[in-house]
Amino acid sequence: MSPRHRVDTEQTAFFGFEPEPPRRWRLPVLAAVAAVLMAAAITVGTLIAVSHNDYRERIAKDVEVVEYVRAFMTTYTTLDPFNANAYADRILAEATGDFARMFAERQTEILIQVARAEPTTGTVLDAGVQRWNENGSADVLVATKISQKAPDGESTIESGSRWIATATKEGDQWKISQLIQVI
Protein backbone atom coordinates (compact mmCIF):
# COMPACT_ATOMS: atom_id res chain seq x y z
CA MET A 1 0.00 0.00 0.00
CA SER A 2 1.31 3.43 -0.79
CA PRO A 3 2.20 5.71 2.08
CA ARG A 4 -0.32 8.30 1.00
CA HIS A 5 -3.15 5.81 0.99
CA ARG A 6 -2.18 4.61 4.42
CA VAL A 7 -2.33 8.16 5.78
CA ASP A 8 -5.79 8.77 4.30
CA THR A 9 -7.11 5.62 5.87
CA GLU A 10 -5.67 6.51 9.24
CA GLN A 11 -7.14 10.04 9.11
CA THR A 12 -10.62 8.84 8.39
CA ALA A 13 -10.44 6.41 11.25
CA PHE A 14 -9.08 9.15 13.51
CA PHE A 15 -11.91 11.63 12.81
CA GLY A 16 -14.66 8.96 12.82
CA PHE A 17 -15.67 9.60 9.25
CA GLU A 18 -16.56 6.65 7.12
CA PRO A 19 -17.61 6.97 3.50
CA GLU A 20 -21.21 6.04 2.68
CA PRO A 21 -21.66 2.70 1.02
CA PRO A 22 -22.81 2.93 -2.62
CA ARG A 23 -26.60 3.26 -2.98
CA ARG A 24 -28.51 0.33 -4.33
CA TRP A 25 -30.79 1.82 -6.97
CA ARG A 26 -31.93 -1.39 -8.61
CA LEU A 27 -34.41 -2.46 -5.94
CA PRO A 28 -36.38 0.85 -5.79
CA VAL A 29 -36.53 1.04 -9.58
CA LEU A 30 -37.67 -2.57 -9.81
CA ALA A 31 -40.36 -1.94 -7.15
CA ALA A 32 -41.60 1.17 -9.00
CA VAL A 33 -41.78 -0.72 -12.34
CA ALA A 34 -43.63 -3.59 -10.66
CA ALA A 35 -46.12 -1.16 -9.09
CA VAL A 36 -46.77 0.51 -12.45
CA LEU A 37 -47.25 -2.87 -14.15
CA MET A 38 -49.66 -4.01 -11.42
CA ALA A 39 -51.69 -0.81 -11.72
CA ALA A 40 -51.84 -1.24 -15.51
CA ALA A 41 -52.91 -4.89 -15.15
CA ILE A 42 -55.66 -3.98 -12.68
CA THR A 43 -56.88 -1.17 -14.98
CA VAL A 44 -56.94 -3.43 -18.04
CA GLY A 45 -58.69 -6.19 -16.10
CA THR A 46 -61.34 -3.76 -14.85
CA LEU A 47 -61.95 -2.38 -18.35
CA ILE A 48 -62.30 -5.90 -19.77
CA ALA A 49 -64.72 -6.90 -17.00
CA VAL A 50 -66.86 -3.80 -17.55
CA SER A 51 -67.00 -4.27 -21.33
CA HIS A 52 -67.84 -7.96 -20.89
CA ASN A 53 -70.66 -7.10 -18.50
CA ASP A 54 -72.04 -4.51 -20.96
CA TYR A 55 -71.87 -7.10 -23.75
CA ARG A 56 -73.71 -9.68 -21.61
CA GLU A 57 -76.45 -7.18 -20.76
CA ARG A 58 -76.85 -6.21 -24.43
CA ILE A 59 -77.10 -9.86 -25.51
CA ALA A 60 -79.63 -10.58 -22.75
CA LYS A 61 -81.71 -7.61 -23.88
CA ASP A 62 -81.55 -8.81 -27.51
CA VAL A 63 -82.69 -12.28 -26.50
CA GLU A 64 -85.53 -10.86 -24.40
CA VAL A 65 -86.94 -8.71 -27.20
CA VAL A 66 -86.52 -11.41 -29.87
CA GLU A 67 -88.32 -14.01 -27.75
CA TYR A 68 -91.18 -11.59 -27.13
CA VAL A 69 -91.52 -10.77 -30.84
CA ARG A 70 -91.39 -14.49 -31.72
CA ALA A 71 -94.28 -15.21 -29.35
CA PHE A 72 -96.27 -12.23 -30.61
CA MET A 73 -95.78 -13.09 -34.28
CA THR A 74 -96.82 -16.70 -33.67
CA THR A 75 -100.03 -15.40 -32.10
CA TYR A 76 -100.50 -12.78 -34.83
CA THR A 77 -100.14 -15.26 -37.71
CA THR A 78 -102.22 -18.03 -36.13
CA LEU A 79 -105.86 -17.39 -37.02
CA ASP A 80 -108.85 -19.12 -35.44
CA PRO A 81 -112.05 -17.99 -37.18
CA PHE A 82 -114.17 -19.50 -34.40
CA ASN A 83 -112.56 -17.19 -31.82
CA ALA A 84 -112.08 -14.00 -33.82
CA ASN A 85 -112.99 -11.70 -30.91
CA ALA A 86 -110.46 -13.37 -28.59
CA TYR A 87 -107.82 -13.04 -31.34
CA ALA A 88 -108.48 -9.31 -31.69
CA ASP A 89 -108.41 -8.83 -27.92
CA ARG A 90 -105.06 -10.68 -27.61
CA ILE A 91 -103.47 -8.60 -30.36
CA LEU A 92 -104.84 -5.33 -29.00
CA ALA A 93 -103.52 -6.19 -25.51
CA GLU A 94 -100.01 -6.52 -26.98
CA ALA A 95 -100.22 -3.32 -29.06
CA THR A 96 -99.17 0.23 -28.31
CA GLY A 97 -98.58 3.45 -30.22
CA ASP A 98 -99.31 3.59 -33.95
CA PHE A 99 -99.99 -0.14 -34.18
CA ALA A 100 -102.62 -0.02 -31.40
CA ARG A 101 -104.31 3.00 -32.96
CA MET A 102 -104.36 1.40 -36.43
CA PHE A 103 -105.58 -1.93 -35.11
CA ALA A 104 -108.35 -0.31 -33.05
CA GLU A 105 -109.51 1.74 -36.04
CA ARG A 106 -109.69 -1.32 -38.27
CA GLN A 107 -110.80 -3.82 -35.60
CA THR A 108 -114.23 -4.48 -37.12
CA GLU A 109 -112.73 -5.02 -40.55
CA ILE A 110 -110.06 -7.34 -39.08
CA LEU A 111 -112.69 -9.33 -37.14
CA ILE A 112 -114.67 -9.93 -40.35
CA GLN A 113 -111.53 -11.06 -42.21
CA VAL A 114 -110.50 -13.42 -39.43
CA ALA A 115 -114.01 -14.87 -39.11
CA ARG A 116 -114.10 -15.58 -42.87
CA ALA A 117 -110.59 -17.04 -43.04
CA GLU A 118 -109.59 -20.66 -42.78
CA PRO A 119 -107.77 -21.69 -39.59
CA THR A 120 -104.04 -21.10 -39.94
CA THR A 121 -100.98 -22.03 -37.96
CA GLY A 122 -98.26 -19.43 -37.82
CA THR A 123 -94.64 -20.32 -37.24
CA VAL A 124 -91.66 -18.04 -36.80
CA LEU A 125 -88.78 -19.35 -38.87
CA ASP A 126 -86.22 -16.86 -37.65
CA ALA A 127 -86.00 -13.49 -35.95
CA GLY A 128 -83.23 -11.07 -35.06
CA VAL A 129 -82.71 -7.54 -33.86
CA GLN A 130 -82.19 -5.27 -36.83
CA ARG A 131 -81.35 -2.20 -34.75
CA TRP A 132 -81.97 -0.44 -31.47
CA ASN A 133 -83.65 2.95 -31.71
CA GLU A 134 -82.74 6.00 -29.62
CA ASN A 135 -86.00 5.78 -27.65
CA GLY A 136 -85.12 2.27 -26.39
CA SER A 137 -87.33 0.40 -28.84
CA ALA A 138 -85.99 -2.34 -31.09
CA ASP A 139 -86.72 -3.13 -34.72
CA VAL A 140 -86.88 -6.91 -35.09
CA LEU A 141 -86.83 -8.59 -38.48
CA VAL A 142 -89.04 -11.70 -38.47
CA ALA A 143 -89.52 -14.44 -41.06
CA THR A 144 -92.82 -16.32 -40.68
CA LYS A 145 -94.52 -19.28 -42.29
CA ILE A 146 -98.31 -19.68 -42.34
CA SER A 147 -99.80 -23.13 -42.92
CA GLN A 148 -103.44 -23.89 -43.61
CA LYS A 149 -105.41 -26.86 -44.88
CA ALA A 150 -106.37 -26.80 -48.54
CA PRO A 151 -110.06 -26.95 -49.43
CA ASP A 152 -109.67 -30.67 -50.20
CA GLY A 153 -108.74 -31.20 -46.54
CA GLU A 154 -105.71 -33.38 -47.24
CA SER A 155 -102.95 -31.09 -48.49
CA THR A 156 -101.42 -28.12 -46.76
CA ILE A 157 -100.86 -24.69 -48.24
CA GLU A 158 -97.87 -22.78 -46.90
CA SER A 159 -96.87 -19.20 -47.45
CA GLY A 160 -94.06 -17.15 -46.03
CA SER A 161 -93.67 -13.50 -45.19
CA ARG A 162 -91.22 -11.15 -43.57
CA TRP A 163 -92.06 -8.48 -41.05
CA ILE A 164 -90.36 -5.67 -39.20
CA ALA A 165 -91.82 -5.42 -35.73
CA THR A 166 -90.92 -2.47 -33.54
CA ALA A 167 -91.06 -3.52 -29.90
CA THR A 168 -91.23 -0.92 -27.15
CA LYS A 169 -90.88 -1.66 -23.47
CA GLU A 170 -93.65 -0.21 -21.32
CA GLY A 171 -92.89 -0.80 -17.68
CA ASP A 172 -91.77 -4.42 -17.45
CA GLN A 173 -93.57 -5.61 -20.58
CA TRP A 174 -92.67 -5.39 -24.24
CA LYS A 175 -95.36 -4.29 -26.66
CA ILE A 176 -95.54 -3.89 -30.42
CA SER A 177 -95.64 -0.26 -31.51
CA GLN A 178 -95.32 -0.81 -35.25
CA LEU A 179 -95.68 -3.80 -37.55
CA ILE A 180 -94.71 -3.57 -41.21
CA GLN A 181 -94.80 -6.41 -43.72
CA VAL A 182 -91.67 -6.42 -45.88
CA ILE A 183 -92.22 -7.24 -49.53
What's the per-residue H, E or C state across the chain? Answer: CCHHHHHHHHHHHHHCCCCCCCCCCHHHHHHHHHHHHHHHHHHHHHHHHHHHHHHHHHHHHHHHHHHHHHHHHHHHHCCCHHHHHHHHHHHHHCECHHHHHHHHHCHHHHHHHHHHCCCEEEEEEEEEEEEECCCCCEEEEEEEEEEEECCCCCCEEEEEEEEEEEEEEECCEEEEEEEEEEC
pLDDT (tens digit per residue) in 131-176: 999 998 999 999 999 998 877 777 888 899 999 999 999 988 999 9
Q: Does residue 3 form part of some domain?
A: no
- The answer to whether position 9 is within a domain reads no
| Number of domains within the chain | 1
Host domain of residue 150: 65-182
pLDDT tens across 135-145, in order? 989 999 999 99
**CATH code for position 82:** 3.10.450.50
Predicted TM-score (pTM) of the model is: 0.74
